[in-house]
Amino acid sequence: MSIQNKGKIIIIGAGIAGLSSAFYLVNDGWQVEVLEQNDLGNSCSYGNAGMIVPSHFTPLAAPGVVTQGIRWMFDSKSPFYVKPTLASISWGLKFLKHSNQAHVDRSAANLRDLHLASSKLFNQWATLDGFDFELTQKGILMLFKTEKLGHEEAELAHTARGLGLDVDVLDQQATQALEPNAELDVLGAVHYKCDGHLYPQKLMANLIQYLQNKGVVIHTRHTVSEIEVANHQVKALVANDKKFAADKFVMTGGSWLPQLAKKAGLRVSLMPGKGYSFMHTPVDDSRGLIHSALLLEARVAVTPMNGQIRFGGTMELAPFNNKVNINRVEGIVRAVPDYLPDFKMDIPKVKNIWYGYRPCSPDGLPYLGATKKLDNLIIAGGTGMMGLSLGPIVGHTVAEIANEQKISVNISQYSPDRFQ
């Protein structure tokens, strides 16, 4: 029996949020078109660490982040930098307001539920014909070298257990036992067994092929130049001098969400957080990693994928630019052997360094829901460093909103209108 056609819906953005939304919408009977300003293959959904992280129940806006960030700003190789601009000052004042324990406590359970629901959906995707994206649900190791950070992580692990997450605190010997093929120079680790990882390039390729097979039309190199609004509704989009009309619209757009929203008369507070990654091939195939890991003091992500290791990190909150800050990349390279002595690397050539922009909201929470100002527009973005992990549940929720169904997760904190 064929699914009844529910109408036409246009999605702006072919990152993980946009493609996940298309996945659930087309399967619910919508005619779906996607407008993407670039080619398929260079969004933040491709070069990230590929981590699925129920462990990330603490939003970016949290106690201590501001103080640490100020210290890091004066180190050219540090993992964090904010370029002072009018936009960053406005964003920063909102960030300061939310960097408190009460905000963390209010947010934790909802973020946990989002990630756990998304992890289950990843498991479902992995069973589909044509889907093979190296999904590994063995957990993530939070590696630490100092007693101070070990104590802080143990306290966070205690909170995680209180939230029902599967987590162990390990000493050096137990940590090393989980990685028998690589030497670890750490005091210990927290093992979030609820976490996992995958290979983003394969996932995105799987989604694109699936959607095209389902009849979803993806228009690449189509930048939305105008959004036509009338009677509290979006009527059409203009891209490449062509008009695209639909019954409903979904606005993703990653770090370009504020510019898109402005075209519709909306204000979304967001800063692009530039991050870098590169791939490394171990000299000896037998000296690889089994788990993905975070090198905590250095703020470096490490993920085995496609027979290689992806290293990534840094957060530059600054206007868009096409420059690779080699000092930040050097900071990643130099930090790795402090934890993983087997991985002594040269600084990669610029052509081998990937960078992308994480869409960071000032309270560290997503924008997910319908906007009250326009009846037929759904906004999905602002997921920061959690974008890939939350992709499936964001798409699933977008479809529930479009179908006017009961929402299966609590999105009350994620209103896209909250900073209007």
pLDDT at 1 (0 to 100) = 39
d(CA 270, CA 320): 12
d(CA 133, CA 140): 17
- Nearest Cα neighbor of 276 from 55, 77, 20, 38 is 77
Task: Indicate which CATH number applies to the domain containing 209.
Answer: 3.50.50.60
Question: Does residue 332 lie in a domain region?
Answer: yes
Amino acid identity at 88? S
HEC assignment per residue over 56-81: CCCCCCCCCHHHHHHHHCCCCCCCEE
Listed as ranges, residues in the chain with pLDDT below 70 are: 1-4, 42-43, 65-78, 285-286
Residue with tokens 């206007």: 319
Vertex 50 angle, CA 140 and 175, to 5°: 20
Pull the structure tokens for residue 72. 């890091």
15 with 138, same domain: the answer is: no
**Positive or negative CA dihedral for 384, 387, 393, 399?**
positive
For residue 335, the tally of other CB atoms under 10 A from its CB is 19
The CA-based dihedral angle spanning residues 217, 222, 224, 228, taken in that order and rounded to the nearest 10 degrees: -50
Helices and strands (DSSP H and E) totals, the chain = 10, 20
pLDDT at 78 (0 to 100) = 66
280 with 162, same domain: the answer is: yes
381 with 355, same domain: the answer is: no
280 with 312, same domain: the answer is: yes
80 with 173, same domain: the answer is: yes
265-299 pLDDT, tens digit per residue, is: 999 999 999 999 999 998 776 678 999 999 999 99
pTM of the model: 0.94
180 with 299, same domain: the answer is: yes
The string of DSSP letters for 272-334 reads EEEEEEEEE--SSTTS--SSEEEETTTTEEEEEETTEEEEEEEEEESS------HHHHHHHHH
Query: Do the bridges between strand 30-35 and strand 217-219 make them parallel or antiparallel, or are there none, so unpaired?
Result: parallel
186 with 209, same domain: the answer is: no
233 with 277, same domain: the answer is: no
Question: Does residue 340 lie in a domain region?
Answer: yes
pLDDT at 4 (0 to 100) = 67
Pull the structure tokens for residue 1. 């029996």
Amino acid identity at 316? E
Question: Does residue 397 lie in a domain region?
Answer: yes
The string of DSSP letters for 185-230 reads --SEEEEETT-EE--HHHHHHHHHHHHHHTT-EEE-S--EEEEEEE
Pull the structure tokens for residue 402. 């479009």
* Domain total in the chain: 2
Q: Are 196 and 139 in contact (CB under 8 A)?
A: yes
Q: Are 104 and 57 in contact (CB under 8 A)?
A: no
234 with 277, same domain: the answer is: no
Q: In which domain, by residue range, is 338 found?
A: 58-101+129-196+271-360
Question: Does residue 113 lie in a domain region?
Answer: no
- Nearest Cα neighbor of 41 from 220, 161, 270, 274 is 220
Question: Does residue 107 lie in a domain region?
Answer: no
pLDDT at 265 (0 to 100) = 96
Question: Does residue 420 lie in a domain region?
Answer: no
185 with 96, same domain: the answer is: yes
Q: Radius of gyration over alpha carbons of the chain, in Å?
A: 21
pLDDT at 329 (0 to 100) = 93
Question: Does residue 145 lie in a domain region?
Answer: yes
